[in-house]
Amino acid sequence: MARMNGPVLLVGSVPEETAAEVLRTCGEGVGKYVSCLPDGETGYRRVWIQFLAATIYHGHPALETLQRPKPIDGKENWFPRDYGDDSWLFKVKAGNDTVRFDHLGYANEAQKSYRDFCALRAAGVIPPGVKFQVSLPLTESATRAFLTNVHDFAIVWSAYEEAMGREIAQIVKAIPADDLAIQWDICVEVLAIELQDQFGGPWRPTGDPFERYLQALRALARYVPDPTLMGCHLCYGDLGHRHLVEPTDLRLLVRMANAARTAVTRQIDYYHMPVPRTRADAAYCAPLKDLTIGEAKLYLGLIHHTDGAAGALQRVRTARQNIASFGIATECGFGRRPPETIPELLRIHREVAAGL
């Protein structure tokens, strides 16, 4: 049975100062159109995996910081401005065959935001039945870009996977499983498969990148209780509002979604795939005719502030040539855009959703 029925998905980040502000803005803007609402990934989380670099990896006793974002006007900075020499890099210190992360920080943030979520839902700002969404990076996305060799990658991969199991247990202890949605943010995995592992620094992980993706998803999905909604956000990157690689079409993401359905034993409730603003052509969406995800809902990230409802509806019409039913979203989270654009962006979501 389909459990994700709202026509709108908010991928994660929203540029407000606090979770309460995000939840109020989005609850009032699109609350009746969503199945779940995120807290906006405010603070350090607004730049996705950099949250882990700045708050968990940096300063860890078993890790050495090799590189970090350069200071701005003489002040320490944690925000990377590019994918190269202004990013975070770490190595496992000599003598450490294992690493342990006592926590990853996501459970603590979720507990605080859920209190705001419940208060706003009780006040009628968030409609009854809407669940609380927590977005978490899949394993390779959370680790690979910060490391410099295969040995360290294997150690940190295992440490992250073990810690994420404990993190989800903490989340579910604080938030009822049936009031929760867990979204796996899957970006580096997409890029690794797309580029056949010719990605990032000169080193390459062992094994096939597609199998690593399925291995990670299987491993982490087993920690998510059955009553909890679970989704996969498949992404090509969004630093500086640009993809690291521009997809030719949706063929790879369809393959990843189809494989996930058979590889993961618990239900996957939704998949999100990006549709670039310039791709209203039939060729980009043609692979959707091969999508076999059962009762899971597909969300297409075809909302773009730059061309509004008219552009989005054109992309909707094109997608419908290959798939009859789907929801809508932006390509990625919109936490790095100017806050003053959010009301209009939410209005576009409402207008397009009403026309589905």
**C-alpha closest to that of 104 among 155, 43, 168:** 168
What is the H or E stretch that residue 302 is in? strand 297-303
Confidence at residue 107, expressed as pLDDT on a 0 to 100 scale: 97
Provide the residue type at 304 as one letter: H
Both tokens of 254, joined, read 């369809």
Task: Give CA–CA dist 247/23, Å, rounded.
Answer: 32
Confidence at residue 241, expressed as pLDDT on a 0 to 100 scale: 54
- The arithmetic mean of pLDDT across residues 208-232, rounded, is 98
Residue 161 reports pLDDT greater than 80: yes
pLDDT in tens, 243-292: 567 789 999 999 999 999 999 999 999 999 999 888 889 999 999 999 99
Tell whether pTM > 0.85: yes
Task: Give CA–CA dist 167/46, Å, rounded.
Answer: 19
Q: Read off the pLDDT band of 1 (50, 70, 90).
A: confident
Q: Read off the pLDDT band of 71 (50, 70, 90).
A: confident
Confidence at residue 246, expressed as pLDDT on a 0 to 100 scale: 79
Contact predicate 232/216, CB 8 Å: no
Contact predicate 288/322, CB 8 Å: yes
Lowest mean pLDDT across 85-89, 279-283, 341-345: 85-89
216 in the Ramachandran plot: left (φ > 0), alpha (ψ -120 to 50) or beta? Answer: alpha
Confidence at residue 238, expressed as pLDDT on a 0 to 100 scale: 64
Q: Read off the pLDDT band of 177 (50, 70, 90).
A: very high
Confidence at residue 303, expressed as pLDDT on a 0 to 100 scale: 95
- The arithmetic mean of pLDDT across residues 59-77, rounded, is 87
In total, the chain counts a number of residues equal to 356
Confidence at residue 225, expressed as pLDDT on a 0 to 100 scale: 98
Share of the chain residues as helix, strand and coil, in percent rounded to the nearest 5? 40, 15, 40
Q: Are strands 89-92 and 63-67 parallel, antiparallel or unpaired?
A: antiparallel
Which is higher by pLDDT, 336 or 27?
27
State the CB neighbour count (10 A cutoff) for residue 288: 23
**C-alpha closest to that of 172 among 139, 141, 136, 128:** 136
> How far from 288 is each of 118, 275, 277, 323, CA to CA, in Å?
37, 12, 18, 6
Confidence at residue 11, expressed as pLDDT on a 0 to 100 scale: 94
- The arithmetic mean of pLDDT across residues 172-200, rounded, is 94
Q: Read off the pLDDT band of 240 (50, 70, 90).
A: low
Which stretches within 58-174 are classed as H helix?
106-122, 139-143, 150-174
Task: Give CA–CA dist 30/122, Å, rounded.
Answer: 17
Task: Give CA–CA dist 1/148, Å, rounded.
Answer: 44
- The arithmetic mean of pLDDT across residues 109-128, rounded, is 97
- The arithmetic mean of pLDDT across residues 17-40, rounded, is 96
8: DSSP letter: B
Confidence at residue 83, expressed as pLDDT on a 0 to 100 scale: 65
Task: Give CA–CA dist 111/89, Å, rounded.
Answer: 29
Residue ranges and CATH numbers for the domains of the chain are 19-49+105-354 (3.20.20.210)
